Amino acid sequence: MGYIKKRTLGGSYGLPSIFNHWIPDISPRIRRLGLAVILLSYLAASTHLYLAGGVRLGYPSLMMVPVLLASLLFGVPGVLPSALPAALLITALGSQFSDGAAWVTELPFRSLLYVLIGMMVAIPIHIYAFYSRKLNYVMRHDPGTGLPGRRALFETLDQVFKSPLQLKTKNGLAVISINNIHDISRTFGYEAADTLIAALWEQLIDAFESHATVYHYNRDCLAVLFFSSDENLTKQTRTVECIFERSIIYEGLPIHFDAHIGYARLSGDDRREVVNRAESASEYAREMGMRSALYTSAMALDKRQNLILMGGLLDALHSAELTLHFQPKINLKTGQLVGFEALSRWQHPTLGNVPPDRFIPLIERTALIHAFSLWAIETALIKFNSFKKQGVLTVVAVNLSSHNLINDEFPKQVIHLLDKYNVDSCYLEFEITESEIMRNPEKAIEVLKELSGMPISISIDDFGTGYSSLAYLHKLPATQIKIDRSFIQDINHDSGLRKIVSAAIVLAHSLGMKVVAEGVETEDQYRLLERLGCDSAQGYLIARPMPEDQILKWFEQWVAPSLTADLYEA
């Protein structure tokens, strides 16, 4: 575990003060050149006044030129050193052609005059320089933590890209996305979140010393720019991961950061492209459930396709691109049809057939999931009426998302669709995975109870693959569970799987629920499941998901496997 070091947060951390940096930000080379010009201007003004016969016949204002130049180049510190020589020179040249009283009367006056003129130039420049530095600081640092931010990262990348190719390719960038920083902010406050981010920043700085620079890239992101040889990059990336495997103690409580890390090597010459690659790798790691991922070109293609898919979804919902296919569920004892599961299909105009496991997770990240679910329900009800006209009267099941179950308007919208298409609610079934329910079990159970009271059948999908569901199973208003295909594939050859499936069937029946087995592909599986007491089956042995126009033909030709063959011993 790590402990937080006390430090000052916010804009004051390292912020320029109006009482420091009196000298403007000018390069040393320009200062040296300016100093030479100032000396030459002294010489030129003095020569002019000497040859002209004094200040009355010449142009004494020329002596202000070096004072003004010094004020511009050196700010307030340059005023007095330039004003005194100018006053001495012009007084000396004036006294050469007059009496010595000028030293007593004119020297103090001219000195004060030149100082005032110099200050009138230097002080506004100083104030301008101060606010320029302050603005630059604010632009380069995060306002909450005071840590180097996005602009500072981009400036450093610009410098790296100007380096020789062999040095540039030895560098890498990591983008660290902290997924639960908003939860921390809501629980402990934004200042606490900033303190914790700063603590992580300090741990990364301490771990890499001079081999990397760390930036507070976004509110929920840190970025680490590595300066390393290729053979050390793996070691350094592991160092980052180790830091996020430890908790940080805040007010006596261990705080864990749920982070995903994306790495990208520095190639090309576009700083934004490098950052985008690291971000894509971080997003990929999150989607895959990995701690970290190294960027590959395939990620860019996936990201582009994802944008195309999301951009075309609204049009797809109102066109023929999105359709429903239907997979039958069969009673294992009688072989009769007991329902269809509606499965979405997307025939994209440019990407072709897009599988559901590709586009549905994308939809679930957005508010479009509500429109998509309502489209699926409405389309399923339309198809139900079509099946009914053809003499196929059975339940149609539609998959739901956890997002639907936290939408208070969802039950009302379902009632509206049932009334609109004049479908009895007993012919509609909703399937939802146990993992989806466990995201917000209390709210999910509340909405599911409202739906089951209509009454609509509730089915727990992919049973056995989630977690913590047994504690809530007896509370769920479910009418059946669906055993995941992963338990069915080797059930004939694995006695352990048979025992698990048998126990699940007994448990469900004891709670008054029926059991559907998914992924049934062989007659042996079909017969064994019937012997174990499973109620229904679904899988390629029975039928693949079919479009509407193939349903009637399948229904007329369907013959259940013989149930008189030898049965396996459980």
Active site residues: 518
Which phi and psi (to 5°) does residue 154 adopt?
-65, -40
Q: Can you tell me the distance from the alpha carbon of 441 to that of 402, in angstroms, rounded to the nearest whole number? A: 10
Judged on CB neighbours under 10 Å (0-12, 13-18, 19+), 241 is: middle
Q: List alpha helices for 19-101, DSSP H.
A: 28-52, 64-74, 79-96
Q: Can you tell me the distance from the alpha carbon of 529 to that of 426, in angstroms, rounded to the nearest whole number? A: 26
Q: Is 425 left (phi over 0), alpha (psi -120 to 50) or beta?
A: alpha
Q: List alpha helices for 438-567, DSSP H.
A: 441-452, 470-473, 495-510, 523-531, 548-557
Do you find a cis peptide bond into 60, omega within 30 degrees of 0?
no
Q: Can you tell me the distance from the alpha carbon of 411 to that of 315, in angstroms, rounded to the nearest whole number? A: 25
Among 516, 524, 566, 556, CA closest to 541: 524
249: Cβ contacts below 8 Å, ≥ 6 apart: 1, 2, 3, 4, 255
For residue 209, the cross-strand partners are: none
Residue type for position 504:
A
**Buried b / exposed e across 354-389, counting CB within 10 Å, b at 16+?**
beeeebbebbbeeebbbebbbbbbbbbbebbeebee
